[in-house]
Amino acid sequence: MRGAVPTLPELLALRAAAARLVWTPPRTVRAGGAGQRSSRFRGRGIDFAETRAYQPGDDIRHIDWRVTARTGRVHTKVFHEERERPILLLADLGPQTFFGTRQRLKSLAIAELTTLLLWRAYDDGDRVGALLRTATGLEALRPRKTQQSVLRIQNQLREGCEVLAERYGASPRAAARPAPGPVEGLNAALQELLKVVRPGTTVIVVSDFADGLDPFPQVLEQLGRLGQQAQVHGILVSDPFERAAPPAGRYPLSDGRRRTTLDLAGREAAARWTERYEARRDALAAQLQSQEGLLLECSTDGDFLQDLGRWLR
């Protein structure tokens, strides 16, 4: 098992790995502003796209007089317009992500996946921002096209993991910290995104979607509302322990402060364990697909570069 808190050099080193990822442009770009990507948005630009019948509001300077004379109907030229893609990443580092049984904690996996996406978006020339949900609240960083902004987000990711480690038992300083106060749920983070998102934005929610503070149907409802304003995708981070129940038995559990017992005696308990996870994953995938989004499932012991590379293409 790797450490609970990533170092800044480790996050910076992920830039070289992110360079091997290929991020396919979205089918339609509705945002304003010039950029480095030729999109399917059609408007004023430098690359000719097609000639079509004139519509009210079209720029009369682009009327195609030759086609107009030949057909007897007014036609106008349409051009591909170069656009940049604003991207918002929601990194969920809530208390429930401080868990893992293989290779990484879920919180560390979320920090690494978010960092890979950050570097890929920045190197593609996109404006990228983030909303971080941590054990201390929400931190919003609006999309910018600067390396300083990317580094700031990475530092916030590191601090979010550090707070989890300190508060939930993986740090000698945990005992000196006051007991954690109320934590904002995933719903609150999605509602905050609704306040700042703009049409044409690509939103990627990186989470385990297992927040016990909010009923899961409410999370799906918030994703649906967000999908009306932006293109929303999800990355579901899970641990092998969640997807397949361990051998039948009774297991002591603790979050560093409270203790309980997980009762998995009998085959039915194990079956319900797996069905519960699969139902959550399938409902999440169906919700995103209904609004033209995609879901990627990543395991804490998986190969993130391989998973992301296939998904982004």
From 180, 229, 228, 175, select the one nearest 201 (Cα to Cα). 229
Q: What is the mean pLDDT of residues 206-227?
A: 91
| CATH numbers and ranges of domains, the chain | 8-28+85-312 (3.40.50.410), 37-83 (no CATH)
Q: What is the mean pLDDT of residues 253-278?
A: 79
Provide the pLDDT confidence category of residue 42 given band limits of 50, 70 and 90.
Answer: very low
Q: What is the pLDDT of residue 26?
A: 47
**Model confidence, pTM:** 0.78
Q: Which helix (H) or strand (E) holds 268?
A: helix 267-290
**What's the pLDDT tens digit per position in 45-64?**
445 667 888 887 777 888 89
Range scoring the smallest mean pLDDT among 56-60, 179-183, 197-201, 296-300 = 179-183
Side chain identity, residue 228: Q
Q: What is the pLDDT of residue 205?
A: 97
Q: What is the pLDDT of residue 149?
A: 93
Q: What is the pLDDT of residue 172?
A: 46
**What's the pLDDT tens digit per position in 266-289?**
778 778 888 989 999 999 999 999
Phi-psi region of 218 (alpha: psi -120 to 50; beta: other; left: phi over 0): alpha
Provide the pLDDT confidence category of residue 209 given band limits of 50, 70 and 90.
Answer: very high
CB 86 within 8 A of CB 143: yes
Q: What is the pLDDT of residue 176?
A: 46
Please list the residues that pair with 78 across neighbouring strands.
50
Side chain identity, residue 197: V
Q: Work out the burial of residue 192: count CB atoms within 10 Å of its CB; fewer than 13 is exposed, 13-18 middle, 19 or more buried.
A: middle
Q: What is the pLDDT of residue 44?
A: 39
Q: Nearest 5 degrees, angle CA 160-CA 163-CA 165?
A: 110
Side chain identity, residue 38: S
